[in-house]
Amino acid sequence: MSLWGGRFQDGSSAMFRRVNDSLPFDRALASQDIRGSIAWSKAIYKAGVLTQDEQQQLEQALRALLVKAEAGTLDFDASSEEDIHSFVEATLIEQLGDIARKLHTGRSRNDQVATDFRLWTREHVDLLIADLENVKASLVGTASHNKIVILPGYTHLQRAQPVRYPHWCLAYVEMFKRDISRLRDLRVRLNQSPLGCGALAGTTYPIDRYEIANELGFDSPCLNSLDAVSDRDFVLELLFAASTSMMHMSRMAEDLIFFNSGEAGFITLGDEVTSGSSLMPQKKNPDALELMRGKCGRVFGSLQGMLVTMKGLPLAYNKDMQEDKEGLLDAVTQWHICLCIACEVIDSIKLDSERCAKAAREGYANATELADYLVAKGIPFRTAHDISGQVVLAALEKKKAIEELSIAELQQFSDLIENDVYEILQLEYLVNKRSILGGTGIDPVSKALDAELAQIK
């Protein structure tokens, strides 16, 4: 039975149903819809629309439905209802008859869907914060187990300066911390209640909007009914948070795919997060990481899709807005899956510290150090940079590392170079010299790691 049949003489076409019905996907909002309805039944009882007995019967039936919704046993497929709101109402009417026909008094599906989706979003924000905390914990875990490993740091994917492995891990921890703070931030903005705004202009019934907001855990009611029923900023904000976090994960995946390559060989990944080739028996492919990178496409696409959907909509509600759900549902699911698999991948990392150190030593990553050595001897940095560059060129021609050149060879470029230069060209030395806050020296890295360890519950 349709919710709006009275004015119509003919039924909907099959194709109209296909384009218009949202039950196939907004069934995901079942428990939020039911909880919203329980709160609404209380509000309209207080407004004098329902007797206490009617409210209690409704609440009892709704609570029974909630149990089924949470157990995933509601039979949506047998229903011909248009959306989750009509599904819940029709199910109640079937059980309770006329009493249930009173539930929608003073309410519209417009304030209802806005409420349901805010509740859903809020719950998922909390789950995603927990997922992000887990990824942080995995990164801190692998960092703690490999505290002293040094590997090359890159710019332009050229070996630039060596860094400690925990420093690399903590760089991603910083990104995931920002993702968490973005979620906390948007949670505050979304946590307002549209209930009582009606279709667009507010309801005529004396609903205590503060009370119903409180009942559903919202901080306050939305302040303008036109805005309340047609605001989907919370959807956009969560899609942006998802996109940014997926981008962070994709960059991490890209680093790890490279570290795992035959060429780098810095890490190996567990069998449980890699796959083989049907043709080439030797292969062990980093599929999980590739999918963390690959799934960005659809998540970014959902953000773009929703922006475009909203941009031309006049106030207030328009059916276009029904398109808000599938993109967000999918983005949240993919983000959650990626955060979970990220933990498994990180937990499975085995480092080859020898290869890391060898690569860090190669590629003239200590050339900056030589320049700084000359600066300490009174040479202006620009000149020192030039001298160090000439040393690199000479070493390249001799197929040697800088520290493999003899003191006589080095002194051809500057007579200020003395035997003590060999110490400063050592890997450990040049890493530890970066002891500034935020640097890759053992002191700042240990402090940063300890601070993160202390945060993990």
Which positions lie near ligand ARG, rule CB under 6 A? Answer: 22, 26, 83, 109-110, 113, 317, 319, 321-322
Judged by beta carbon, residue 229 or residue 374, the one nearer ligand ARG is 229
Q: List the beta bridge partners of residue 162.
A: 152
Judged by beta carbon, residue 100 or residue 321, the one nearer ligand ARG is 321
Judged by beta carbon, residue 20 or residue 390, the one nearer ligand ARG is 20
Annotated catalytic residue, options 156, 220, 225, 414: 156
Rounded distance between C-alpha atoms, residue 388 and residue 408, angstroms:
15
Residues whose CB falls within 8 Å of the CB of residue 61, separated by 6 or more in sequence, listed in order: 92, 95, 96, 100
| Radius of gyration of the chain from its Cα atoms, rounded to whole angstroms | 30
Name the token pair of 83.
């959306």
| Distances from the Cα of 120 to the Cα of 107, 218, 247, angstroms | 19, 12, 24
Judged by beta carbon, residue 287 or residue 323, the one nearer ligand ARG is 323
Catalytic (active site) residue 79: no
Annotated catalytic residue, options 181, 220, 275, 277: 277
Residue 178: alpha-carbon gap to chain centroid: 10
Helix (H) or strand (E) holding 414: none
Q: List the beta bridge partners of residue 54.
A: none
Judged by beta carbon, residue 109 or residue 164, the one nearer ligand ARG is 109
| Distances from the Cα of 345 to the Cα of 250, 270, 291, 350, 360, angstroms | 13, 7, 12, 10, 24
Angle at CA of residue 303, ends 242 and 176, nearest 5°: 15
Rounded distance between C-alpha atoms, residue 150 and residue 275, angstroms:
28
- Taking the complex as a whole, the smallest distance from the CB of residue 318 to ligand ARG amounts, in Å, to 9
- Taking the complex as a whole, the smallest distance from the CB of residue 85 to ligand ARG amounts, in Å, to 6
Name the token pair of 173.
């921890």
Rounded distance between C-alpha atoms, residue 136 and residue 172, angstroms:
8
Catalytic (active site) residue 277: yes
Judged by beta carbon, residue 91 or residue 110, the one nearer ligand ARG is 110
Catalytic residue numbers read 156, 277
